[in-house]
Structures are given as structure tokens and as C-alpha cells.
Structure 1
């Protein structure tokens, strides 16, 4: 049975990223390899043909998901009783891709319409709880345990929020979480400036609103944070290319001033007392 997707605005970007993970799955050498995404796309009543122009960035979206999967799995290996808090989870199947200890907790947070669709697509997932709320609201934090090391995942989220909302959200994270990790992706200021020119982002009323010039400055603005990893998306993607020329090209682009930091994957430690 097909599932109708009544998502608009920024919520529609969850369909974009799902589609691109499905595109990656259909390739001979997928970067991520997410069969759940492909099956979900086949079940959703939505004109994915409108997104074909985005197929060229499927490897980047897949590399981002794979990197965040890796960081999440590493954290759960180190802290098997941890909590994974996935902000704006969209239609991501990460709880089905990442091996989770029975002692771990997992909470997915997103708008009610998105949560309703993902539950119809994936059904209940053992050990995973969903919260229907906007990540920028403060009320839902009362339902998040404070007694576990926590991995906070904000994939494909912060660039869509106004700067003041990013600051408030990160402040809530560091005030609520006793210890753990915060991982997110960030675009450079020049990417944010150009995002309004993309027809698909304009149609979804979702140009980028926040960018990051310096992870070190960001960490100083939120003292409990400590920068652990700062990866160029292009450089990270190069790790998954089987062709030596492709790897060389991507690594060269990653080292080009101003281009290599267009999209970066960041991991911060959350340390009590800063």
C-alpha cells in the first residue's frame, strides 16, 4: 500500500534526502547502501521525478549518512547504555542501519506529520521512541532522560534554522545533556548565500539560513563543547570512491581554498564544566 506524503516547506527536504539515499542504493557501488530508503521511496505517493536534478549530490548525502552512522556506532560501542537523540530525524532509517545494544535508548524527534509518515513506513522499531515536536520548541526536552551519556545527531538540520534558533537549540543541548557528543553538518557562508538560487530549495521555501565559518569559534560560544572532528565532505566522500582518479579529484577539490569547507561534518564532545 502506498503512503501519501503531505509534507511541505522544510519538511519536504526529508523526502529529498530519502530519495537521494535510495538513488545511492540503486548504484553499482553505493556509498551508504540503504535498502530501507529504496523500499520507502517505492511506497510513498509522491512525484520523486521532480527531484531528478538532485541525483548528482546523492554520493554526498550518502557519505554524510555513512559518516554519522559510523560516529553513532562508535559512541554506542564506547557507551552501550547511551541515549541517541536524533533531531529532525526525517525519514532516515538510521535505527535500522546501526547496531544498537539492548541497553541503549534511542529517541527520534520531528514534526508530527513527518513522524506519522515514518511510522507508517517503518512501523514500530524496538528500542526506539518517537517524539512529535518541532526541535526548536523547548517543551519536549522534559521527556529526554538526563542520566545517560548522549549522542545528539543533527543531520541536515542546522543550516535551515535562523542563527538565533541554532544558538538556542545548542544551548539547550549542552544544558540538558550530562556528557556525550554533538554531531552535525554545516555549510560555509558562500554556500548559504547561493542556496536561495536553487529552484528546488526555493520551491520548498527552504534556503539555507545558517552557516559556519569557524568550528573553533562555535565551540567557544558554547563552552561545554570541544571540537573532536572537522571533516570536509568532499574529502570524506573520497574515502568511498573505488577509482583512484575520482579520489584524487575529490581530495584536490577538498583542499581548494574556499571550496573544501563548503560542506563539513563536525563532531563535538560535550564535557561537563567545558
Structure 2
């Protein structure tokens, strides 16, 4: 890995990965905070990008870090139970979870669009047990590159809010039809916030728009045909980890109703 500056050429949904990466890195740099992402801290200065919008967007950064905390817990639990598992991190962006979760035995595929993987590869240069796949998740050709099978975990974080219901259905159908032992952790946006991306100024600045949301697994209906619910989770637990005072309102049903959801389900 060299120290040459990388100037990402991304826009729209793909560009949102830079805001997410910045949020995790900046939160991690504060030693007083409980969430730490050493890899993001190490690499953030490699990017030649104007993060001024992300720096001011506390609504975006707080949500990003809170969901990272909860996803880390869910993924860690799965890996502890199945240490030789295979993880497919869909719409990975510059996510560094593989390095926080690696137990020396798992196989981890980071999947994203070719233009995104080009940026990722220029920074991480991943190969071996942790590697990349440059392909749209809606193009089933990507499944051919997942050579190591077994107990499968699919992480879908920061993606479905930019998809249509039909696209989510197609993505899940590809997973269902090509993988046995499929276990999915998928973030969804509260439907109330669809078309309200203006709340997160840095996301709006990329040109990305929110298009779909769901509050629980039952809301998915035939979108998740062939899967069964494990549990409905949300990012409130992550918010409590970051800000204990949040506990004063976290018990309120309305808080959980509007929080980002993480739906956990498996192939039936």
C-alpha cells in the first residue's frame, strides 16, 4: 500500500460511501468515543475529496456510526457461532468491518459497483480471504465469483433506501436462488423518511435520493419470498452505546418506530 492520494470519481448513490467512511473515521479519532475504526482512521487522509458537507452533517454521521455499532454486534455474533463462515458485504463502499471482524478463518467478499471497487482496490488492495467483487448486486453474475461456500452471511447496509421494491426483491431472489444456508442482515429506512433525504445534507449534496423503506420483516411481503424472519432490530442500541443520555427517550415507541431498521432473516 502506498501513500499516494486517491481522488474518487463518484456521484449519486456511489458517492454516499465517502460520507459514511468519513463519519466513521472522524468519530473514531475522538478517544472519548466508544466506537473505533482504526482502519478508517488510517486511510481517511488518503482521499482527495471535499468532506465539508459531511463534516457539518451531524444527522448523517450519528446514524452511520450507530448502525455500524449494531451491525458489528450482529456480524460478530454470527462469526462467533460459525467461525469458518463466508461473508458477502453487499454495497461495501469503503467499509472496514472485515478488518474489525476477521478471526483468521473466515472468507469475506466485498461486493460493489465496478467504479466503487476501483476506488476500494486502489486503497486496500485486497486478495485472499478478504477480496473484492466488482459487479452490480442485481447482475447475478457476481455469484460465480463467490468460490468459498458454507454458512453464508449477507450484509446489506446503506443500500436499500436507494433501491426500488422490485430491485430489493431481485437482490434477495439472487441470494435465495444461488446460496444455501443464507443468513441476511439488511438495513431498511423508515418509510416516513422516503423522499426526505434533505434531512441529511451531505447525502442530498451527492444527488442520491431515498426511494424505498420498510419498518419490519413482515412489511417485505413477497419481496422476501423464500426467507423467514429471525428478528427485527434497529439502531437504537447503537445510539445508546454512543450517547448514554439517549436512554431518557430510547424507551419511547416512537423512537424505535422512526429509527433505521436492521432486519435479520434466513433462507427458509
User: Paired residue for 1:234?
Assistant: 236
User: For 2:217, which of 204, 215, 218 is the aligned residue?
Assistant: 215
RMSD between aligned alpha carbons?
2.2
Determine helix, strand or coil for the equivalent of 2:257.
coil
> 1:56–1:31: structure 2 CA closer, same or farther, 3 Å change rule?
farther
- 1:115-141 Cα distance to aligned partner (Å, 9 max, x none): 122222223354112111111212222
Which residue of structure 2 lines up, in the alignment, with residue 106 of structure 1? Answer: 108
Q: 1-side partners of 2:23 and 2:7: how far apart?
A: 19
1:187-226 equivalences in 2 (<5 Å): 187-195=189-197, 199-218=201-220, 221-226=223-228
Q: Deviations over 1:137-194 (max 9, x none)?
A: 1222222248411000011011111111111111111111201310011111111132
Could you tell me whether the CA contact under 8 Å between 2:183 and 2:266 is conserved in 1?
A: yes
> Gaps spanning 5+ residues in structure 2: where?
none
Deviating beyond 6 angstroms after TM superposition, the runs of 4 or more aligned structure 1 residues are none
How many Å separate the matches in 1 of 2:257 and 2:199?
A: 20
Deviates more, 1:121-130 or 1:219-228: 219-228
Q: Which whole-Å CA distance do the structure 2 matches of 1:80 and 1:49 have between them?
A: 40
1:264 aligns with 2:261: yes
Does the aligned pair in 2 maintain the 1:81–1:101 contact within 8 Å? no
Conserved? CA contact 1:158–1:166, under 8 Å = yes
How is 1:1-274 mapped onto 2 (pairs within 5 angstroms)?
1-102=4-105, 104-124=106-126, 126-145=128-147, 147-195=149-197, 199-218=201-220, 221-241=223-243, 243=244, 245-249=245-249, 251-252=250-251, 255-257=252-254, 260-270=257-267, 274=268
Segment drifting more, 51-60 vs 83-92: 51-60
Does the aligned pair in 1 maintain the 2:65–2:238 contact within 8 Å?
A: no
Q: Deviation at 1:196?
A: 5.3
Q: Give the unaligned 5+ runs of structure 1.
A: none
Shift of 1:109: 0.7
- Aligned residue pairs, count: 265
CA distance in 1 between partners of 2:255 and 2:70 (Å): 22
**CA distance, structure 2, for counterparts of residue 258 and residue 80 of structure 1:** 34
Separation in structure 1 between the aligned mates of residue 62 and residue 259 of structure 2, nearest angstrom: 15
Q: Displacement of 1:199 after TM fit? A: 4.5
- Comparing 208-217 with 79-88, greater Cα deviation is found at 208-217
Kept after mapping to 1: 8 A contact 2:57/2:200: no
Q: TM-score, normalised by structure 2?
A: 0.89
Secondary structure of the residue that 1:193 maps to in structure 2?
Answer: coil
